A and B are shown apart, each in its own frame.
Chain A
Amino acid sequence: DAGVIQSPRHEVTEMGQEVTLRCKPISGHDYLFWYRQTMMRGLELLIYFNNNVPIDDSGMPEDRFSAKMPNASFSTLKIQPSEPRDSAVYFCASSLDTSNYGYTFGSGTRLTVV
């Protein structure tokens, strides 16, 4: 099992540019989560999907952030336009369910907006 695959591993972009982060969950996992981690705020849930449907996006900071899951094996998190305060590590995770099983995280995308 290849685990949760995220790309790119690192992204450096200029303020105002569009950034797209990608995630391939573990096959068979019905839940996909996008998290953001910073030193100040720790791990924050941005949005999660169940069977490709967004269930809770209340953690999405603002309209500049959007996420899609067009099929069971692919999800994107887009930031447009990006700002320096978006600099963080973005993790994608997948799980069989929300309560009884832990999550498997991808290696993360380290985003730096300059």
Chain B
Amino acid sequence: RKEVEQDPGPFNVPEGATVAFNCTYSNSASQSFFWYRQDCRKEPKLLMSVYSSGNEDGRFTAQLNRASQYISLLIRDSKLSDSATYLCVVNRGTGGFKTIFGAGTRLFVKA
């Protein structure tokens, strides 16, 4: 079992739709969490950090559930420009620092 798992998708949604991705992690010692966005043939870019209390940035909302060991990303009012691969990232702080990138979830937003 991978330490960080994501549904690879693809998710195909119409413009204006709300879409949600989940990411599960197996190491309970994980300390910090992020969502990155990667466009085709580009580098990953930090989208947002994920805080225990949940956080929102415009149309994007990230949440952390430590009890169930998953993080989520909700995108409201999807835009064509949201089409990308979304990578879940987990930092394991104990037992040696380690950052684990999920394999990513592909999103296609259609007109």
Residues of A within 8 A of B (CB): 33, 42-43, 45, 55-56, 91, 98-100, 102-108
Chain B residues numbered 50-101 whose CB sits less than 8 Å from any CB in chain A = 87, 89, 91, 93, 96-99, 101
Give B103's nearest chain A residue, CB to CB. Answer: A42
Q: Which of A33, A43, A102, A105 contacts B49 (CB 8 A)?
A: A102
Check if B91 sits within 8 Å of A99, measured CB to CB: yes
Residues of B within 8 A of A (CB): 31-32, 34, 36, 42-46, 49, 87, 89, 91, 93, 96-99, 101-104
Check if B46 sits within 8 Å of A99, measured CB to CB: no
Check if A106 sits within 8 Å of B97, measured CB to CB: no
Set of chain A residues within 8 Å of B49, measured between Cβ atoms: 102
Set of chain A residues within 8 Å of B44, measured between Cβ atoms: 43, 91, 103, 105
